[in-house]
A and B are shown apart, each in its own frame.
Chain A
Amino acid sequence: MKGLIGLMEAPLPEGPYYGALAEFATPADLYRACERVRDAGYSKWDAHTPFPVHGLEGAMGMKRSKLPWIVLALGLGGAATGFALQTWVHTTAYPLTISGKPLFTWPAFIPITFELGVLGGALGAVGGMLALNKLPMHHHPLFDVKRFSRFSDDGFFISIESWDPRFDASQTVRLLESAGASHVQLVENPK
């Protein structure tokens, strides 16, 4: 049980700080700040907003998600499994003549092949999304910052994590301040 909970915790970077957290007054300020952070070459950072901001993924320089490939692989895998299972059952494991048709009647296998393809794709989409988002995670160091709870109400935040190779406590804070943050602070690693 303890191991399972450990899995659901955010891994922590080494050193005294988890990272830097900056708050912005408006989505527009956040958008411009994201472009600054992106252009400064940071890679391990994130933006937190109460609602989707159009085009933010471009301002953050995010790459396309790998999720479609996971869905495709599991969808095709599910379909192949369904077809193979029926072929094996009908021709080898339990051969039975049904309505005078040959044992290997591929058209009859299509509905289940299709359904397992859909099932595989759907599980791939949900499971893949959770895995890529590192969910479920029951706690995160940013939650220790009181101010951060406003990310789900009216706050717009950027967090830069300290294992980013460009992270430097004073320089990163200065970058965020010059990018128009209304408040910047360093977040300590939990003890």
Chain B
Amino acid sequence: MSSFEPRQVDEVTWEIPASARSDMRVPARILADAELLGAIREDRSLEQLVNVATLPGIAEAALAMPDIHQGYGFPVGGVAATELPDGVVSPGGVGYDINCGVRLLAAPIAASELAARREALAHEISRAVPAGAGRGGSLNLRGPRLDRVLEEGAAALVRGHGLGTEDDLERTESGGCLAGADPQKVSARARERGGPQLGTLGSGNHFLEIQRVERVLDRLGAEAYGLEEGQVTFLIHSGSRGLGHQVCTDYVRRMDAALGRFGIELPDRQLSCAPISAPEGRDYLAAMAAAANFAWANRQAIAHRIREAIARVLGGDVAERTKQVYDVAHNVAKVEVHAGRRVCVHRKGATRAFPPGSTEIPADYADAGQPVFVPGSMGTASFVLAGRDGSMAKTFGTACHGAGRSLSRTAARKQIGGAELRRDLEARGIAVRAPSNRGLAEEAPLAYKDVDRVVAVAARAGIAAPVARLVPIGVVKG
């Protein structure tokens, strides 16, 4: 239970003042309603957020999205912007799964038309996309071919391997490629871990879902995104696999060793960091960009395999007309300009949510705002949101990324068995493919907060507005 007592600022904003602990440089600010705040106070989330508020160069406040939960170093659902040139960049503020993110595809078919082919589609997707631990990707790129992925991201697969379309790139955050990536800053071990894993889903909370658009909540937004009620969508949740994990590991260690040289004292070693202007900071940003590009390529490869599976089950025409709605990162650090200041925005379990009119989003979405995807837990609803002006004023252009865990994996397993959960989901018309019942139970819906409540807080805060509610009809678990 947290010892911090946040004071209420408005109906969905709470604040721990900078005076609450002597090493805080800025306040800690939380977007939540009273019920979510109660859950947030049950673990170390607020203590971790206060620790983030001590980072050198942090601007405005350490911010928590409504889906915040305890992580390591930074809380999951945490946002920190540090001012250039001498504010710090912290690898732990991005996390090990660099550019973990979500891609949504929209198919030109209604769920009612799938009928008996729903099971076949889930089965075919589970065969096409390697899931679970370790290796198994069909690309297995090394040397210069891997370098090209690290430099160019999703475009390397679209243009170099024919996996996807230019339209996919247009509808991806940053075009699927972060500038400044340098493969030379990625270690040999990171390459060894990641190379064979390109095009694989991974384990833990990663998953693919076949969904139905249950309800359109904003007609104009849904039209812009090409979504309508009853339509089938495919949601991909994965990241940079072992390559990103190793990049983070390498730079947490390197910066930890250099803290004394920079005169930085931290309340938690996992917050290890370096000035953005220092060689350690610059090298990390170059390696992180390479890992982020690998993640976009990974989701590009997965999307291509899904389209191939769709072609086999529903026909080539349906596959060809299955369009990408968007692809967003929710673990990344990006240099952006906010209120005239150049800042490095760390989003750890948080999604960029730029409003209508932003030049950073596809022209087709200029009036609607940037799509933001908020997957619920496996078996519950997910949301498509649109970025709103409030995000620029309050959260450095950021919104939430999911429901947020409320139970540990062990506690989830104690409450429900994997086999029982599988039966429950199937009884509700959700086809399930999962490599292990244990992993299935750990990601049970009861382990997560109420995604509807999280989205409602984001909307009330004015940072993002709901566009559509999606419900699962098939789950392929990592």
Q: Do A and B bind each other?
A: no
- Residues of chain B at the chain A interface (Cβ within 8 Å): none
